[in-house]
Amino acid sequence: MIVIIKSGTSPEMVKKIKEKLESKGVEVDITRGTNKTVLCVVGDTRMIDINSIKSFPEVDDVLKVMEPYKKANRLMHPENTIVDVNGRLIGGKKIAVIAGPCSVETEDQIVGIAESIIDSGAEFLRGGAFKPRTSPYSFQGLGATGLDLLSKAREKTGLPVVSELMSADMLEKFVEEVDIIQIGARNMQNFDLLKEVGRIKKPILLKRGQSATIEEWLMSAEYIMAGGNNDVILCERGIRTFETSTRNTLDLSAIPVIKKLSHLPVIVDPSHATGAWWMVESLSRAAIAVGADGLIIEVHNDPANALCDGAQSIKPENFNDLMKSLKYIALAVGREM
């Protein structure tokens, strides 16, 4: 349920209406926008008399939210959420670009890539320390050592780092060393893990599961937000279909759908979507054109010898060219790089 408050209503009256709602045992969040204030009511609303709430002269309207996701719902939060990561914004007018290798391999590798992508305009460094792989015999990442190397790259370049959390056992170390915690596609519905990251104050990058519907994806975001962490960034990274020409099928239509249904920022991962480096440039352009708030792109200095996903990684010089071309796409849709 949402309660729309008329423009010009005093904070004291808003508080009074909020307290009346909370007396019915529900949780109430206040969202103050440019033109209106909205009270977001979450919980069992059956005991609330809508007509009683409407009787307040300051109440413009009361609406029922039918979708199961409440906090992620745009009705609850009409204005776009902008996630602040150490002063760098995701969800605003500027397109956020996250780049780096699939896996952290050595200090020279991760620092060198970080220095190259920052020169090209990237604002965040990605790197996998713990790698969920389909085969148990594939490279699984450097683990905690990989996180330490990411921290060294951040110290030398100032780039906030993004890395994937696979187990709540490592949450404390991730909180200390990672600026954006990624929940990967395979863990999108690991609800115990979602609850754990919901209780911390750290931005969460939530990737869409390979076979997840948009509603299931938003419900996973709801798990995080229900715990009190509202800094959720959604990431479309391709879904599993019957098509075999690409690793996954990049669902660009999900971007405008998310924009309609939710206030959360959404970025696109063209690298994992296709598994092929030569498609990354075209799909990056398409993602920006369709309204994505950012990109996460795999960049490796030596893809042919990468320990993980070299086939989908572009070289630093290709990334630099891509960033230049994206400026024109962003400008055409009223955004900036």
| Per-residue pLDDT reduced to its tens digit, 50-88 | 998 999 999 999 988 888 899 999 988 889 999 999 999
pLDDT surpasses 70 at 216: yes
> What is the predicted pLDDT for the residue at 318?
96
For range 190-195, the mean pLDDT: 97
pLDDT surpasses 90 at 97: yes
Identify the CA nearest to 115 among candidates 330, 334, 260, 319.
Answer: 319
Judge contact between 34 and 93, C-beta under 8 A.
no
What confidence tier does 197 reach under pLDDT thresholds 50, 70, 90? very high
pLDDT surpasses 80 at 336: yes
pLDDT surpasses 90 at 46: no
Percent of the chain with pLDDT over 90: 78
> What are the pLDDT digits (tens) for 281-329?
999 999 999 999 999 999 999 999 888 888 999 999 999 999 999 999 9
Question: What is the distance, to the nearest Å, from the Cα of residue 196 to the centroid of all Cα atoms in its chain?
Answer: 17
For range 168-182, the mean pLDDT: 95
C-alpha 304/C-alpha 126 separation (Å) is: 19
- DSSP for 201-253, written as a single string: SS-EEEEPPTT--HHHHHHHHHHHHHTT---EEEEE--B--S--SSSSB--TT
pLDDT surpasses 70 at 133: no
Task: Return the residue matching tokens 């729309």.
Answer: 4
> What is the predicted pLDDT for the residue at 119?
94
C-alpha 337/C-alpha 94 separation (Å) is: 5
What confidence tier does 140 reach under pLDDT thresholds 50, 70, 90? low
Identify the CA nearest to 184 among candidates 200, 201, 205, 213.
Answer: 205
**Residues making up the chain, counted from first to last:** 337
Judge contact between 271 and 287, C-beta under 8 A.
no
C-alpha 272/C-alpha 185 separation (Å) is: 10
Supply 232's token pair.
Answer: 């959720």
> What is the predicted pLDDT for the residue at 136?
72
> What is the predicted pLDDT for the residue at 163?
96
Identify the CA nearest to 269 among candidates 244, 240, 239, 303.
Answer: 239
CATH 3.20.20.70: which residues of the chain? 83-332
What confidence tier does 124 reach under pLDDT thresholds 50, 70, 90? very high
pLDDT surpasses 80 at 96: yes
For range 144-162, the mean pLDDT: 95
Containing 329, the helix (H) or strand (E) segment is: helix 316-332
What confidence tier does 199 reach under pLDDT thresholds 50, 70, 90? very high
Percent of the chain with pLDDT over 70: 98
Judge contact between 54 and 62, C-beta under 8 A.
yes
Amino acid at 91: G
Indicate the burial class of 253 (C-beta count within 10 angstroms; 0-12, 13-18, 19 or more).
exposed
Predicted TM-score (pTM) of this structure: 0.90
CATH superfamily of 83-332: Aldolase class I (3.20.20.70)
The SS3 assignment for 78 reads coil
Identify the CA nearest to 126 among candidates 167, 97, 90.
Answer: 97
Mean pLDDT of the chain: 93
> What are the pLDDT digits (tens) for 242-279?
999 999 999 999 999 999 999 999 999 999 999 999 99
Supply 336's token pair.
Answer: 């900036």
C-alpha 282/C-alpha 271 separation (Å) is: 11
Query: So what's the architecture of 2-63 in CATH?
Result: 2-Layer Sandwich (3.30)
Radius of gyration in angstroms for the set of CA atoms belonging to the chain, rounded to a whole number: 21
Task: Return the residue matching tokens 């790089």.
Answer: 337
Containing 180, the helix (H) or strand (E) segment is: strand 180-183
pLDDT surpasses 80 at 44: yes
pLDDT surpasses 70 at 139: no
> What is the predicted pLDDT for the residue at 99?
97
> What is the predicted pLDDT for the residue at 137?
60
